[in-house]
Structure 1
Amino acid sequence: MSNQFHSASTVHTAIRWLARISSLLLIGLVIAIFFGAGGFPKIAGEQNSVKIEFLALGVMLIGLVVGWWQELAGGLVTLAGLVGLNVVELLVNGRLAQGAFPAFVIPGVLFLLSGLMTIRMQKNLSKTF
């Protein structure tokens, strides 16, 4: 049982760090794009769909940060933002978000998986005591 727990713990740690590293890469990409475009875009005069997409991007970024401390919540928030962005894209452009946006699935799912593994491991530990 000890080897099984150690193996699960190692996989959990790997998933957690893959989620964190991928979140940092995506946050860095967004920052690089904003700086490359001359700073945060002025969206006041944009269409409502563009404003909603920027809001969804902000939600995804918040999820990536939250995931470092609350993996389950961070994963859910990241994926919720991505779903929102894709709904707007489908309604306005008839297609899913393209470019780097699909990559937000990676840390979102990994944070979600890590959070679920944490809950499962805590339940298993409580059964042993």
Structure 2
Amino acid sequence: MSGEGGRSVRLAGAARWAGRILGLLSLGVIGMFVAAEPPWPWRLSMLEGALLACFPVGMAAGLVLAWWREGLGGLVAVLGVLGFYLVHRVGAGEWPRGPWFLIFASPSAFSLASWALRRRGEGGVRRSPRSAPGPTGVGWPG
């Protein structure tokens, strides 16, 4: 059993650390942008505030959360970037240009991959005690 399941767990560990390291790099670069020109709340329009809430705030929250809960953190980061694209499309009438928003959010893909590989290595969906086999190899009674 250590064959396929063990390989999934090793790949999950590699994906986890790739996501963490790249996430720190992404957050560091975004932090430098924010430190260089902070977004003063009283200067932001409603559209800019909504965009800022999605990216970088929502995306950054997801990358930080992924250190403890990979699946949830990756999902939050992806939803933050998706929200940014949708708000920009609705508010500005066009899609954001360039790959940079996706590049900064790419560590979330590693977090989601790690989460999926760990679930696969553990045998997929966790079962309740009622479906666990009993001493005779059949399910629990009742």
Into which bin does the TM-score normalised by the smaller protein fall? 0.7 to 0.9
Q: Cα distance, 1:5 vs. partner?
A: 2.7
The answer as to 2:49 corresponding to 1:76 is: no
How many pairs does the alignment contain? 126
Greater Rg over alpha carbons, structure: 2
**Structure 1 residue aligned with 2:40, among 17, 24, 42?**
42
Q: Counterpart of 1:113?
A: 113
Per-residue displacement from partner, 1:24-64 (whole Å, max 9, x unpaired)? Answer: 01100111112222xx3203232211000110021110000
CA pair 80-28 structure 1, distance change in 2 beyond 3 A: same
Report which structure shows greater RCO (CA 8 Å, sep ≥6).
2
Task: Supply the distance in 2 between the matched residues of 1:3 and 1:121 (Cα, whole angstroms).
Answer: 10
Structure 2, unaligned runs of 5 or more: 128-132, 134-142
Q: Cα distance, 1:95 vs. partner?
A: 1.7
* 8 A contact 1:86–1:97 mirrored in 2: no
Task: Supply the distance in 1 between the matched residues of 2:4 and 2:20 (Cα, whole angstroms).
Answer: 24
Q: Once structures 1 and 2 are overlaid, which stretch shifts more, 59-68 or 110-119?
A: 110-119
Over the residues paired in the alignment, what is the CA RMSD in angstroms?
2.3
**SS at the partner of 2:96?**
coil
